Structure 1
Amino acid sequence: MNIKSLLIGSAAALAFVSGAQAADAIVAAEPEPMEYVRVCDAYGTGYFYIPGTETCLKVGGRVRFDVQAASSYRPHSDLGWSTKSRAEIYLDSASDTEYGPLKTKIVTRFDFDGTYNDGTHTTTKLMAANIQLAGFLVGLADSQFTSFTGSAGDVINDDVVAYGQYEVNQISYVYKGDNGFSAMISVQDDRGAIVGKDAFGNTLYASGDDYAVDVVAGLGFKTDAFQFRIVGGYDESAEEGAVKARLDGTFGKINAFIMGAWNSDGDVVHVFAPGDSIGQSWGDWALWTGVGAKLSDTLAANLQVAYTDNETLAAAANLKWNPVSGLLIQPEITYTKWKTIDEDQWNGMIRFQRTF
């Protein structure tokens, strides 16, 4: 074999080896195993495990569109159709601990009032941001004076005669026994005394000037057909309080309730006796009652009436239609009469709401 043949053979061998090595070098590595989202059913439907953790998360919300002819909360408000759009986002977390489930709740709300139609009047509000463990709740939530007894009926305009305070920072403890007995104690941020309402009907508060807090306490008992709850609150700034009691009953496809409240000073409006929609006090007492009926699998009807010692009357009736799961179409008619100013107001409205 001459030198030329040897060189050619060596070059060919090197090319073959280099090509084999190059082919081996570009072989893709096997993919890392993926961790798919796992369903977490320990805390109810909709929860899933956050990948890589033992914490469960639930994401939900709703989108709403209202059209109404007037306002149930203000006289002389029948000036033409008004519209409002709302979006809410819910985030709930839960994880197991030696003291029971550790939970958090976040609710954010975005409103657009169609009265303006300029694209700049979207309001953002934090409705809830709290931590819950072993019956304790700390953070932002509706006052226990309101949430322990529940809202005044399954109608849209249920608080023309207001029945309590909503979002407030608090430290609360709620006990729920296996025998139907429940108890609650809460201390909450003292916003100061109510000084009136703004042009949009929002409650205005004076600033607190000390370190004192408002106090709320309540008791309840529930059976298969009935539930009774009583709650009391003391407004430190106003130096006044209120007591509210409620009885609910379920009779087949019909449910009914009656709720009454007493104000320690009928001339004073405070956070636990917020008065009516134009800023008047209840007087010495207020009363709410209502009934609801399930007419079919997709249709229900509700009626609510509220009345105060100062003779404010508020009535509402509606139909709730769920044509498909998650979608609500709700027409409602209301009538409000403010006796002290000799004014009244009718209102008709319809709500479209998608909950997910």
Structure 2
Amino acid sequence: MNIKSLLLGSAAALAAVSGAQAADAIVAAEPEPMEYVRVCDAFGTGYFYIPGTETCLKIGGYVRVQVDGRSDFDFDGPAGGRFQEGGYRTNTRGYLTIAAKSDTELGTLGSSISLEADTNGGSQDFFVDEAIIQLGGLQVGYFYGYFDNGLPGETVLSDGGPLGSDFGYIGGDTLNNSIRYTFDGGSFQAYIQADAFDSQDGWKTGGFVNGAGDFVPGNEDELGVNAMIAGKFGGVAIDLFGAYDFDFDDGVIASTLAAEIGPGTLGVFGVYSFGPSRYWDFSEWSIGAEYAIKVSDKLAITPGAQYWSNILPVYGDSDYDGGDAWRVGVTADYEITTNLKAKATVNYTSVDVDLAGVGDGDRWDGFLRLQRSF
């Protein structure tokens, strides 16, 4: 065997071995297809299925930047003086709502949590605004009540009064731990709700004996009940609300009407209080109206006015002791682009408290807001 034959034989053997190895080569497995998020249209827009479950999730909220301004609140008369300092303030807010829903044999099971973060003048606040569990028409948790529904403008105060919390009012306490059952018949709705008002330490007790041997009454009566019926008839929607506070032994009735008239929507709010309570203690009665005019697809102008009668509550006496107030203003809403809106309002409030020789008082207030919703 010569050298040439030996080389040719070696090359052939190597080729045979290489061919056998190539035939047995390991091929990497292809990656499994990803499970993309599926749209859930069973509960409206914006929901998607949590991967691997039949629960639908929706995330929404807004970011708001706002500048508030107001004039000094001065009163005339012998005992008059400055009730409230004027000036301006800035505030930025982030608001996030996460809602989950699924179908069960008992109806739709839902839950939601709303988180709010505010920064204002160097201070920051972060808190849970609402937290709700819902099964069918039953709703339990921490949520707002009727008086926070409001009208489209910023003049009529459906959950407040002309003097506000600066005068020691407790009414408008509409965010509570509550239980509500709602019947929804399409054009007709009704609900009944029980509220547990927040006490200073959260405990509802029957009282206790202090170190001096004196009995300190508890706060077991810090409960309330309210109900509402509402209907929509063509372009008119109306509701009737009633509430009773067992601690103050007083109640309130209120109603809101909205009607499509001409180029806009008229909203009317009225309330009558039988005595000061946590639901309402800003006045014995009040009435307000706003008219939202659709100027264009992007611009709406809403003038409004409100009147309060007997604005000085007498707690524990189921009464009010004089004074009245009125308020006029206008609000402009402009849609800059999809999900980005600007709002501006200016309002004038006049108060006559007729207290200890104090006469009339008035002030201007308003704000400019930019809000991006998602």
1:321 is aligned, of 334, 341, 344, to 334
Partner of 1:295: 295
Query: What CA distance in whole angstroms lies between the structure 2 residues aligned with 1:133 and 1:42?
Result: 16
1:165 is aligned, of 146, 168, 173, to 173
Aligned alpha-carbon RMSD (Å): 3.0
Unaligned runs of 5+ in 2: 75-82, 165-170, 201-216, 311-323
Q: Is the 8 A contact 2:180 2:192 kept in 1?
A: yes
Identity among equivalent pairs (%) = 31
Query: What CA distance in whole angstroms lies between the structure 2 residues aligned with 1:151 and 1:264?
Result: 21
Q: Is the 8 A contact 1:72 1:335 kept in 2?
A: no
Letter of the structure 2 residue corresponding to residue 235 of structure 1: D
Counting only pairs closer than 5 Å after superposition, residues 92-241 of structure 1 correspond to structure 2 as 92-113=99-120, 115-116=121-122, 121-143=123-145, 145-146=146-147, 150-155=149-154, 158=157, 159-161=159-161, 164-178=172-186, 180-191=187-198, 209-210=219-220, 213-241=223-251
Query: What CA distance in whole angstroms lies between the structure 2 residues aligned with 1:320 and 1:258?
Result: 19
Query: What CA distance in whole angstroms lies between the structure 1 residues aligned with 2:220 and 2:107?
Result: 36
Deviations 1:190-239 (A, max 9, x none): 3359xxxxxxxxxxxxx962166311112222111212211111112212
Partner of 1:343: 361
Aligned residues, how many?
319
Query: What CA distance in whole angstroms lies between the structure 1 residues aligned with 2:33 and 2:192?
Result: 49
Q: Is the 8 A contact 1:190 1:208 kept in 2?
A: no
Q: Give the 3 Å change call, closer, same or farther, for CA 42–298 of structure 1 in structure 2.
A: same
The question of 1:256 aligning with 2:266 is answered: yes
Query: What CA distance in whole angstroms lies between the structure 1 residues aligned with 2:290 and 2:39?
Result: 39
The alignment partner of 1:37 has SS state of coil
Query: What CA distance in whole angstroms lies between the structure 2 residues aligned with 1:156 and 1:218?
Result: 24
Partner of 2:54: 54
Unaligned runs of 5+ in 1: 194-206, 276-281
Letter of the structure 1 residue corresponding to residue 371 of structure 2: Q
The CA deviation at 1:71 is 7.0
| Larger Rg belongs to | 2
Deviations 1:310-355 (A, max 9, x none): 3122333111010211111112101122211532111242111111
Q: TM-score, normalised by structure 2?
A: 0.76
Q: TM-score, normalised by structure 1?
A: 0.79
